[in-house]
Amino acid sequence: MAIETNKLQSIISHCKEYGFIFPSSEIYDGLQAVYDYGQWGAELKKNIRDHWWNSMTRMHENIVGIDAAIFMHPTVWKASGHVDNFNDPMIDNKDSKKRYRVDHLIEAFSDELQAAGQDDKANEILTQMELLLSKDDFIGLKKLIETNNIKCAISGTCNWTDIRQFNLMFSTEFGSTASSDEEDNKVYLRPETAQGIFVNFLNVQKTGRMKIPFGIAQVGKAFRNEIVARQFIFRMREFEQMEMQFFIRPGTQKEWYEFWKTERMNWHVALGIPAAKYKFHDHAKLAHYADAACDIEFEFPIGFKEVEGIHSRTDFDLKNHQEFSKKKQQYFDNDLDPATGKPYGNYIPYVIETSIGLDRMFLLIMSNAYEEQDLSTAEKQDSRVVLKFPVKLAPIKLAVLPLMKKDGLPELARQLMDDCKSHFKCFYEEKDTIGKRYRRMDALGTPFCVTIDHQTKEDGTVTVRHRDSMEQTRVAMSEVKSLVLGSF
């Protein structure tokens, strides 16, 4: 598959020009792999977050949501395995001093081969890499890099160090003074939101009187000291995750894993995004906590990449928290086991996790929506950029545009704004020609524009202009609210 570098660049520029995403601290030349969401980006992100939250906590009666703190007791990260295992194999180029994540370096090389039409070789290298990674064979991986003459993009040389492990957690200190005994005060910025759910498992189960199977959902910031931090918001050092841990009876994990795989894929496709742009990718190398795992991959402009992970985490986390905290993390199951006719009794639940990056989902929605259209006719050259967002996610649902700034038209437009603005996000604009205003709304992905003109004064009708088809229809102003509400 050709990598649409130009499309990604166009999306990055568009996001900046139209107030979706800015580089962080831009006046100081930015901060690598950290981004700020602007006025329309924040709306789109919030709509994606709310849609996920509602799908999880409203459409499933046995899932509730929490909001745990970013800082957690440092022992959490020992129990979870992150202190010892949250490493990525890295390699440095001795000439440029640039550090690469080994899998990313090899994947980028494979992408280049693919772009040059050498699909077989590209796939063979990826297969070899996955095999070597699954065995932690760092000598073999280095040999793979050297025999394929994979070069550093900066120095252009193949002068590599040995491969080493690098922990991805950020740490800081608690307390007013930097202690001489730094380890005592050391706290981590959470690298995943999941642990906030595990340590609250019993709190929620007891206070919510939850019966297994049940889930706990959470949306929040996570932090990872990513080494290869490029590709815009695809890989950031500060990002947001939307995670759900589903607690189940041991032995039922296979069926629930399959259930959540189907459920999550359906969620994606129900947004109107073509199913062909998605695929599952089973993990060759399982994380330290998993007995089965796959990614939902999407065809981003940078190729098929992970947007969401579905992991069967066994009882790894709860068991370890029980061991490290010395507090029982058990559930008493009253249901009768048909094999014995007695209650299942006490056990540490197993867990299926669904974990999706909010920022990656944002990039997915943006990449799928972004279209450059040539609208030229024999008479004149014309083009537009349109963001074809699903209506329920669009930052602005309705633009209200009085044709002129006089003759009572703004007053009528304000009436429509007042009728609609408490129901969905509306935008009022009276500057520039109507054509220019339509184009600006296309570039923000606004599905409906309403023009108030002189006829409105006579018969109470307005022109509704539809973003995707650019069709214009005449409807009663009093019907606009229900027309928009009925579309999402």
Q: Which residues bind ligand ATP (CB under 6 A)?
A: 192, 224, 226, 235-236, 239, 241, 306-309, 355-357, 359-360
Closest C-alpha among 398, 381, 407 to residue 451:
398
**What's the closest the beta carbon of residue 406 comes to ligand ATP, in angstroms?**
49
Distance CA 438, CA 436 (A): 5
Closest CB to ligand ATP among residues 241, 314: 241
**What's the closest the beta carbon of residue 211 comes to ligand ATP, in angstroms?**
28
**356 Cβ partners below 8 Å, 6+ apart?**
52, 241, 242, 243, 264, 296, 307, 308, 309
Closest CB to ligand ATP among residues 320, 355: 355
Residue 479's alpha-carbon distances to 12, 247, 353, 460, in angstroms, are 37, 46, 43, 10
Three-state secondary structure along 185-196?
HEEEECCCCHHH
**What's the closest the beta carbon of residue 323 comes to ligand ATP, in angstroms?**
23
CA 282 to chain centre: 19
Closest CB to ligand ATP among residues 355, 451: 355
Q: What H or E segment, with its residue span, contains residue 396?
A: none
**What's the closest the beta carbon of residue 134 comes to ligand ATP, in angstroms?**
14
Q: Of all residues in this chain, which one has the CB nearest to ligand ATP in the complex? A: 357
**What's the closest the beta carbon of residue 235 comes to ligand ATP, in angstroms?**
4
Closest CB to ligand ATP among residues 281, 414: 281
DSSP helix/strand/coil, 305 = strand
Distance CA 428, CA 440 (A): 12
**What's the closest the beta carbon of residue 218 comes to ligand ATP, in angstroms?**
13
DSSP helix/strand/coil, 159 = coil
Closest CB to ligand ATP among residues 226, 333: 226
Closest CB to ligand ATP among residues 48, 444: 48
Closest CB to ligand ATP among residues 224, 397: 224
Residue 150 CB neighbour total at 10 angstroms: 19
**What's the closest the beta carbon of residue 174 comes to ligand ATP, in angstroms?**
25
Closest C-alpha among 77, 20, 72, 83 to residue 47:
20
Residue 9's alpha-carbon distances to 109, 252, 302, 424, in angstroms, are 20, 45, 11, 31
**What's the closest the beta carbon of residue 171 comes to ligand ATP, in angstroms?**
17
Distance CA 488, CA 474 (A): 20
Closest CB to ligand ATP among residues 190, 235: 235
**What's the closest the beta carbon of residue 312 comes to ligand ATP, in angstroms?**
13
CA 335 to chain centre: 37
Closest C-alpha among 434, 430, 487, 394 to residue 40:
394
Closest CB to ligand ATP among residues 170, 488: 170
Tokens of 227: 């080494």
